[in-house]
Amino acid sequence: MAGLIRASRTDSSRRLVRARRAARVSAVRRGLRRFARTPSAVVGLVLTLTVLAVAALADLIAPHDPLAIVGPPLAAPSAAFPMGTDDLGRDLLSGIIVGARTSAAVAIGVGALVLGIGLPIGIASGYRGGIVDDLLMRFTEVFQILPRFFLAIVVIALFGPGLDRLIIVLGVTSWPILARIVRAQTLSLREREFVDAARALGSSETRVVRHELLPNVLPATLVILALIVGQVLLIEASLGFLGLGDPNAISWGYLAGQAQRFLRVAWWLSLFPGIALVLAVLAFNLLSDGLNDLWDRRGG
């Protein structure tokens, strides 16, 4: 009799897990349809993909070498130079196109570090609880109070400017908020029925986390990750504007900083890098807002 009861419970757990996975697939399909009907999400995705495509194809679509003198100094926008030239006669359009590669490198590098650090810490803290949760949250708070901008300035002053160092500093100091969001999501999920069913089937903790918790945590994770990347782009541009960026990499902040001496005579030098930066930051913010709206509607 006891064996029949255990078999019945196991069969019920299997059915519950299968139903949960089928519901998850259906929810993904509905989510994609809702995403396509969310204007902010679509615009943000299109702008983000455009920035990444320009960065990937920069060497092919840039009309000139951004460091080469190809025209008269301070030439206004024209058919030959759609965004004008700088004080040395370098094509500004080529500089902005190549600058997208720097922004994309920062976005991808910092995003990977934030995801790689914050996601496992948040899941481990929320799923384990107890002393593990306390220790990981205190560790998170140590990094959360670090001022990213001024720490980046200190690192640049000590070790010299470099894109790799900038990515590491911004990545290591940007993950705590993501870890806290993931922890909160994990705390609300770990006692749900589908997680209990997976445990009843004998799933290991690693399998429970990978197949039950992670898919449900990822939507909120992507929302906050897009927001963090937008903030990081502003910090990178600010450092470039102050002349603290990588001297070997053209960035929008660097171009805008170089334009300050010519604001009265060459308006285009500051306008076009500023527009490029605004569009890139707007892309990630719109994408974050769209994903957040999508997640709220799904949760409702």
* Residue of higher predicted confidence among 277 and 195: 277
Dihedral of the CA atoms 208, 211, 215, 218 (nearest 10)? 60
> What pLDDT score does 110 carry?
93
Q: Is residue 77 part of a domain?
A: no
Q: Is residue 78 part of a domain?
A: no
Structure tokens at 239: 């450092």
pLDDT at 138 over 70: yes
> What pLDDT score does 4 carry?
44
One-letter amino acid for residue 66 of the chain: P
Structural domain span for residue 295 = 2-60+91-299
How many H helices and E strands in the chain? 13, 0
Give 131's contacts (C-beta < 8 A, 6+ positions apart): none
Q: Is residue 69 part of a domain?
A: no
pLDDT band at residue 139, thresholds of 50, 70 and 90?
Answer: very high
Do 150 and 188 touch, CB atoms closer than 8 A? no
Q: What is the mean pLDDT of residues 267-285?
A: 92
Which tens digits make up the pLDDT trace of 58-111? 989 999 999 899 999 999 999 999 999 998 999 999 999 999 999 999 999 999
* Residue of higher predicted confidence among 138 and 242: 138
Report the C-alpha gap between 138 and 41 in whole angstroms: 35
Q: What's the CATH code of the domain at 185?
A: 1.10.3720.10
Do 171 and 117 touch, CB atoms closer than 8 A? yes
Report the C-alpha gap between 141 and 135 in whole angstroms: 10
> What pLDDT score does 20 carry?
61
Residue 46: which H helix or E strand, with range? helix 39-56
Q: Which phi and psi angles does 84 have, rounded to 5°?
A: 80, -175
Q: Is residue 74 part of a domain?
A: no
Q: Is 36 exposed, middle or buried (0-12, 13-18, 19+ CB in 10 A)?
A: exposed
SS3 category, 85: strand
Handedness of CA 50, 52, 53, 58 (dihedral sign): positive
H-only helix segments in 78-211: 92-128, 130-144, 148-159, 163-174, 176-189, 193-200, 205-208
Report the C-alpha gap between 263 and 87 in whole angstroms: 12
Task: Report in angstroms the alpha-carbon separations of 204 from 145, 174, 212.
Answer: 36, 31, 11
pLDDT at 285 over 70: yes
Number of structural domains, the chain? Answer: 1
Which tens digits make up the pLDDT trace of 162-218? 888 889 999 999 999 999 999 998 888 887 877 777 777 777 777 888 878 888 888
